């Protein structure tokens, strides 16, 4: 009977250990660029996939299919990331829980994507006071669903139960 108790205790301990999420962020070697080279998520964790978000209108008087309605690339980036932040908070997560980000920036020969402005908005959320960096891709696209949109971002977040991630 004592053996069964020990075996049961060991099994429950193994289950409890497996239930802990472990999120490990692997930095880019010898770099201060504010993204992770890779992020490993292990354990039994909740993963949230946030659909692509677009910027909110900031000028209700402007044509809703023009960039003037949504702002420049920096303004749109901040607006999109604030939307994502709100969605994550509604799920009990924070920006520090983002493990993967896919960014779409409008790019054409006549109007190249403004990566510098994107980074100015992005670093308001990642790399400063919030050090948990996601793995990230930035892709130049010909257009988004609305001609006024310059930025669309989708993310994957995973809860790290061992650290505060807000």
pLDDT mean by block of 10 residues, the chain; 166 residues: 46 43 85 88 86 97 96 98 97 94 93 95 91 95 96 92 54
pLDDT number for residue 110: 79
In sign, the C-alpha dihedral spanning 104, 106, 26, 78 is: negative
Burial label for 14, CB within 10 Å (0-12, 13-18, 19+), is exposed
pLDDT number for residue 15: 41
Backbone angles phi, psi at 47, to 5 degrees: -115, 135
Longest dimension (CA), the chain: 78
Q: For tokens 């239930």, what's the residue?
A: 19
- The helix (run of H) or strand (run of E) holding residue 88 is helix 73-90
Q: Rounded to whole angstroms, what are the CA distances from 120 to 2, 77, 117, 152, 161?
A: 62, 9, 5, 16, 30
* Strand 22-27 relative to strand 36-42, pairing: antiparallel
CA distance 68 to 78: 15
CA distance 161 to 166: 12
pLDDT number for residue 37: 87
pLDDT number for residue 21: 60
CA distance 73 to 94: 23
pLDDT number for residue 164: 52
The predicted model scores a pTM of 0.80
Per the document, the length of the chain is: 166
Q: What radius of gyration, in Å, describes the C-alpha atoms of the chain?
A: 20
């Amino acid at each position: 009977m004592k053996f069964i108790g020990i075996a049961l205790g060991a099994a429950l301990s193994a289950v409890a250990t497996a239930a802990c999420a472990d999120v490990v962020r692997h930095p880019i070697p010898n770099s201060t660029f504010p993204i992770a080279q890779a992020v490993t998520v292990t354990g039994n964790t909740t993963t949230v996939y946030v659909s692509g978000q677009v910027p909110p209108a900031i000028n209700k008087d402007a044509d809703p299919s023009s960039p003037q309605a949504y702002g420049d690339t920096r303004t749109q980036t901040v607006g999109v990331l604030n939307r994502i932040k709100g969605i994550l908070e509604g799920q009990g997560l924070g920006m520090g829980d983002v493990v993967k980000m896919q960014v779409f920036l409008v790019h054409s020969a006549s109007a190249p994507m403004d990566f510098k402005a994107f980074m100015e908005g992005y670093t308001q959320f990642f790399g400063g006071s919030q050090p948990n960096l996601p793995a990230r891709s930035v892709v130049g696209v010909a257009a988004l669903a609305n001609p006024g949109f310059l930025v669309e971002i989708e993310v994957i977040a995973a809860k790290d139960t061992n650290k505060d991630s807000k």
